Structure 1
Amino acid sequence: MMKSYIKNIAVLFAFTLFVTSCSSDDDSKPVEGTFGDVELFFDNGVSGDALTLGNSYTNSNGETLTLERFNYIVSNFVLLKEDGSQFAYPKEDSYFIISEEAGTFTVHLENVPVGDYKKIKFGIGVDQQRYLQGETAQQSFWDLAAINNMTWTWSTGYRFVNFQGTFTATGGDGVSRSFMVHQGSNTATDNYREVTLNLPTTARVRTGEMPNIHLKSDANVILDGDNKIALRQNMNQAGTAASIMGGENLIKIAENTKKMFTVDHVHNGAGTHH
């Protein structure tokens, strides 16, 4: 009698494990027609170090920069699966500002179809298609951009990247001068750029399980990337400040910013992790 009882308990235990295992496996698989959220965290740095406004660093151009502002617009997010299929986030909601001075580092995407995503694509700035829809169509984002120093006038549009502070040049007179680098489109060139990044770990979007994609951005790349841009060669006539807001150097900077971002890691889980 005791043996039969023990045997029944063992069978019941094994069955429970089997059901639990199957349930666990089923829970881990995407369910068609359901949705989840994705969070992206942008971690700003300078050549591998944390970026802190007010701190100084020296680049390979022989210039020491003290950063006072580092803001940029990211937009038009697309998540791609291994088979090449993709989900483009609704365009009217796909514009975000990352601001070091405002402490805004997170992009939250809602109602993303469940699935296993292997790549992410996004834009730097505001594309011409969106801009040409007019001010009324994007009034709320325009207002947000204006508050964050990411606009000129409406006729000249958005600043895509706002990077500024002061600098001194090695071997120069030692005087600290202000600099401004504002990447944006103008009548001559479209300086909107797109970036596609592989994810080191699959981002598993599930209902109630939100992946956090941790990206690193390197501000040093703006002037010291594939294209080397010396601020001392972009001074105003008075020699009191440097600014780059157009021309050939801005096109080179726009190409540099395409390599400003890397994916550090992906955390799959229910909460927010950085």
Structure 2
Amino acid sequence: MKSLKNLGFIALLSSIALFTSCDDDSKDDTQDPQDNVTYGDFTFEIEHTYGNDAFTYNTEYTNSSSEQLEYTSVRYYISNITLEKMDGTVWSEEESYHLIDNGVSSSMMFKIDNVPTGEYHKISYMIGVDSARNVSGAQDGALSEANDMFWSWNMGYIFMKFEGNSTSAADGTFSFHIGGFGGANAAQETNTHMMHDHMLSISPSASPQIHFKVDVSKALDGHHSISLAQKSKLHMPGAEAQEIAHNFSEAFSLDHIHD
């Protein structure tokens, strides 16, 4: 009997210990430090220019080769947007793929949600689509093949399109489709802008806007200048595509931040 009593007492203690342990675990779960994080949003806003002039379709411009040209399509991807605080903390947007289309005004300004509150001094983004998504098969949203920005499974996404008309081109039109996602042909470009003069302040009660100006002229008339009389079509990855991608990366400037 004494042995049975001892066994019963031990079992009771074990049950109490188990109950206490479970209770402690549940308390730990509610003490997630992330519970104290608050979130806000900001808007990524793009304004296209041609040099110092406003940019519009079917308007005649002149390049550095004294050639007249007018654009009928300017489209490109902005992806992998990240923000960084002064202490080195980095926040990255999830599913960060945005198709910019000069002909669709709503695409020129998009809101980015669920950003932890705080002061951010640096923003980075990719012009193009990262290698992983280039080989991930059929996708939706901005990456849908229905957007006509995809070549094929082995050539991947078209990162940027510049199309239009010019009497200097052999057939009166120009068309540059820029891509190349891996190895020697990789044409993605990543831009970083510092915001030391005016930090991006994220809070639940405000929705700031980061206003970028993008000088479309630099795509074909930047560091690597293109004469449309000599080259008016490019639809494949390679060194020429990389040159245009690099040109276009230099078209972006952070103009100001609206609080």
Tell whether the structures are fold-level matches, with TM greater than 0.5. yes
User: 1:24 is matched with which residue?
Assistant: none
User: 1:209 is matched with which residue?
Assistant: 206
Aligned counterparts of 2:159 and 2:207: Cα–Cα separation in 1: 28
Q: Deviations over 1:110-138 (max 9, x none)?
A: 10000111121000010102223x125x3
Letter in 2 for 1:210: S
Q: Deviations over 1:142-162 (max 9, x none)?
A: 32x633x32223443211111
User: 2:132 is matched with which residue?
Assistant: 129
- Cα drift, residue 175 of structure 1: 7.7
User: 1:140 is matched with which residue?
Assistant: 141
- Cα drift, residue 97 of structure 1: 0.8
Q: Secondary structure in 2 aligned to 1:158?
A: strand
Is the radius of gyration larger for structure 1 or structure 2? 2
Please tell me whether the aligned partners of residues 45 and 218 of structure 1 are also in contact (alpha carbons under 8 angstroms).
Answer: yes
- After superposition, the CA RMSD in angstroms is 2.1
Q: Secondary structure in 2 aligned to 1:210?
A: coil
User: Would you say 1:40 and 2:44 are equivalent positions?
Assistant: yes
Aligned counterparts of 2:130 and 2:219: Cα–Cα separation in 1: 20
Structure 1 alignment gaps of length 5 or more? 1-30, 235-241, 269-274
Q: Secondary structure in 1 aligned to 2:167?
A: strand
Distance 1:247 1:204, change over 3 A: same
Aligned counterparts of 2:200 and 2:72: Cα–Cα separation in 1: 34
Aligned counterparts of 2:238 and 2:154: Cα–Cα separation in 1: 18
Q: Secondary structure in 1 aligned to 2:87?
A: coil
TM-score of the two chains, using structure 2 as the length reference: 0.79
User: 1:62 is matched with which residue?
Assistant: 66
From 117, 133, 142, give the equivalent of 1:114: 117
- Cα drift, residue 221 of structure 1: 0.7
- Cα drift, residue 88 of structure 1: 1.2
Aligned counterparts of 1:258 and 1:177: Cα–Cα separation in 2: 27
Distance 1:85 1:61, change over 3 A: farther
Structure 2 alignment gaps of length 5 or more? 1-34
- Cα drift, residue 176 of structure 1: 6.9
- Cα drift, residue 32 of structure 1: 5.6
- Cα drift, residue 266 of structure 1: 0.2
Q: Secondary structure in 2 aligned to 1:207?
A: coil
Aligned counterparts of 1:56 and 1:81: Cα–Cα separation in 2: 43
Please tell me whether the aligned partners of residues 129 and 181 of structure 2 are also in contact (alpha carbons under 8 angstroms).
Answer: no
* 1:171-182 → structure 2 map (5 Å cutoff): 177-182=172-177
User: 1:163 is matched with which residue?
Assistant: 162
Letter in 1 for 2:83: L
Letter in 2 for 1:107: F
Q: Secondary structure in 2 aligned to 1:231?
A: coil
